[in-house]
Amino acid sequence: ERTVADFIINEIRNDELKFENLLYYKLFEEVFELINSGKTIDKQYFIQHSDPDIAKVSAELCTTKYFIHQFWEKRGTHVEKIEDKLADIIPNIIHQYKRKVMQRAEYQINKKLSDAQKNKEDSPDVNELLSQKIKIQKVIKLLVKDSGIVIMR
């Protein structure tokens, strides 16, 4: 049976996505190592982690912000829980993350191209940047198409 963690790790590793937040990267790598070694992931392990920054972010991530009052369940009203929707939510979140990573890469390339234009550079580097930009735009277009989102510019 494939877990949520397996899915997320595979998606991020297969697409070679990088974390800009070093703390999240450390947390991700530790989860990956635990899963790879066959160990069970226990949230208490992370909440009581020896690295205080990991402990703090883990506690924040594990804290339930909202509670569904049992009033509804006692009245026979079905209340859908987040766990019931993970199969839909997690792929959507990963998809959004990939799109944001690509949009950030496009922004960085546009900045480099703008700088090159200001300096009146016409070099193979500019051609390479343009080539990268086209590839990134194609990926973004595919990600947007897959998500069913309409973007107007």
Length reported for the chain? 153
> Can you give the pTM of this predicted structure?
0.66
Tokens 């069970």 map to which residue?
A: 40
pLDDT in tens, 50-65: 999 999 999 988 876 6
Nearest Cα residue to 110 out of 140, 150, 144: 140
Mean pLDDT (whole number) for 133-141: 91
Computed from CA positions of residues 116, 117, 123, 127, in that sequence, does the dihedral angle turn out positive or negative? Answer: positive
Per-residue model confidence (pLDDT) at position 152: 45
Question: What is the token pair recorded at 106?
Answer: 């496009």
Q: Which long-range contacts (CB under 8 A, 24 or more apart) does 57-66 make?
A: 57/23, 57/24, 57/27, 58/27
pLDDT in tens, 21-34: 899 999 999 999 99
User: Mapped to the 3 state alphabet, what secondary structure does 55-88 carry?
Assistant: HHHHHHHHCCCCCCCHHHHHCCCCCCCHHHHHHH
The answer to whether the CB of 46 falls within 8 A of the CB of 54 is: yes
The answer to whether the CB of 8 falls within 8 A of the CB of 37 is: no
Per-residue model confidence (pLDDT) at position 108: 92
Helix pair 22-36, 4-14: axis angle to 10 deg: 120
The answer to whether the CB of 35 falls within 8 A of the CB of 5 is: yes
Mean pLDDT (whole number) for 110-126: 80
